[in-house]
Structure 1
Amino acid sequence: MAFDLGQAVHDRRTELGISQTELARRARMTQPQVSKLELGGTVPTLPLLARLAEALDASLNIALDGDTSTVAFIAHAA
């Protein structure tokens, strides 16, 4: 699941056209923390997930079904 989450963060960040540094600023993280997260090297806490969703102007949807997980940031309506 860590890899799926990291990919979802990367995808939404690039969709917004912002750098890892900008996302880190918005989510009150460091750029190395964002990089590690995007590479699937860490599983964030619930408060950090909430900050990431806010920083990415999106809702976070996580679906777990046995060994399968789906993670997606859904953009807020404009």
Structure 2
Amino acid sequence: MSYSRYRIPRERRLAEGFTEPAEVAETRHEIRIAMALAKAVYDRRTQLGLTRAELADRAGLTQAEVSRIEGSDTVPTLPRLARLAKALDATLDITLDGDGTHAGFTTPQEAV
């Protein structure tokens, strides 16, 4: 099943002037935020060569919690985000504005 199969009809409706209900748009935005964070955590963990269990041990979380974060099933609290960043030896950068959402980790070497 291809993602484009769903994207194209939606884009066609939007081009014809169809607007999503506000709550649908808000839910879509929240999902994008969770997915951006999930991708950032996964990318940094794999860059370091850590398993989910190893990251969980470093961050004081359970392996299931790390799995839910990487699966964008949950968005952790700020204290947990701080522990994740420390466990991943990086600074977590999150940009939330209008339609754009970005989450990524910056290492001390990259900041220089």
Higher helix share: 2
Percent identical residues: 54
Q: Which is greater in Rg?
A: 2
**Correspondence 1:53-64 to 2 at 5 A:** 53-64=85-96
How far does residue 34 in structure 1 lie from its aligned partner after superposition?
0.3
Aligned with residue 97 of structure 2, among 39, 42, 65: 65
TM-score by length of 2: 0.67
Q: d(CA) in 1 for partners of 2:71 and 2:89?
A: 21
TM-score by length of 1: 0.95
Equivalent pairs counted in the alignment come to: 78
AA at the equivalent of 1:76: P
AA at the equivalent of 2:49: G
Q: d(CA) in 2 for partners of 1:21 and 1:76?
A: 24
Higher strand share: 1
Runs of 4+ residues deviating >6 angstroms: none
Q: Which of 1 and 2 has higher RCO (CA within 8 Å, sep 6+)? A: 1
Q: d(CA) in 2 for partners of 1:76 and 1:14?
A: 18
AA at the equivalent of 1:77: Q
Gaps of 5+ in 2: 1-32
AA at the equivalent of 1:14: T
Gaps of 5+ in 1: none
Aligned-residue RMSD, C-alpha? 1.2
